[in-house]
Amino acid sequence: MPAGRTDKGERTFYLFSGKGGVGKTSVAAAAALKFAEKGKKTLIVSIDPAHSLSDSFEMEIGGEIKRINDNLFAVEIDPKKAVDEYRKKIEPKMDKMGILKDMGLGEMMDAGGMAPGIDEIAAFDKFVRYMTEDEYEGYDVIIFDTAPTGHTLRFLSLPDVLDSWVGKLISIRIRFSGMINLFKRMLPFGEGDGDGGTETEALEMMKKRINLAKEILRNPDKTHYILVMIPEEMSIMESFRTLKVLDEYGIPLKSIIVNQIMPENRNCEFCMGKREFQQKRLVEIRKRFGEYKIMEIPLFKEEIKGIDILNKLKERLDI
User: How confident is the model at residue 101, as a pLDDT?
Assistant: 45
Question: Looking at residues 94-101, what average pLDDT do you find?
Answer: 44
Q: What percent of the chain has pLDDT over 70?
A: 65
Confirm whether 174 is domain-assigned: no
Range of the domain at 224: 12-82+115-155+220-314
User: How confident is the model at residue 159, as a pLDDT?
Assistant: 63
With 50 as the cut, is the pLDDT of residue 195 above it? no
Q: Is the pTM of this model over 0.85?
A: no
Positions of E strands within the chain: 12-18, 42-46, 66-67, 72-76, 141-145, 223-229, 253-261, 293-298
Domain count along the chain? 1
Beta-carbon contacts of 77 under 8 Å, excluding residues fewer than 6 positions away, are: 45, 46, 47, 63, 123, 126, 127
Confirm whether 235 is domain-assigned: yes
Confirm whether 102 is domain-assigned: no
pLDDT tier, 76 (very low <50, low <70, confident <90, very high otherwise)? very high
Confirm whether 7 is domain-assigned: no
Question: Looking at residues 206-235, what average pLDDT do you find?
Answer: 88
Beta-carbon contacts of 232 under 8 Å, excluding residues fewer than 6 positions away, are: 278, 281
CA dist 3 → 11, 40, 141, 230 (Å): 15, 7, 14, 35
With 60 as the cut, is the pLDDT of residue 44 above it? yes
Confirm whether 55 is domain-assigned: yes
User: How confident is the model at residue 181, as a pLDDT?
Assistant: 57
- Residue-wise pLDDT tens digits, 239-262: 998 898 888 888 899 999 999 999
Confirm whether 176 is domain-assigned: no
Total residues belonging to the chain = 319
End-to-end CA distance of the chain: 22
User: How confident is the model at residue 178, as a pLDDT?
Assistant: 54
Confirm whether 99 is domain-assigned: no
Residue 188 near residue 122 (C-beta atoms within 8 A) = yes
With 90 as the cut, is the pLDDT of residue 150 above it? no
Q: Average pLDDT of the chain? A: 78
CA dist 66 → 63, 72, 118 (Å): 9, 9, 27
Query: What CATH number does the domain containing 227 carry?
Result: 3.40.50.300
Confirm whether 42 is domain-assigned: yes
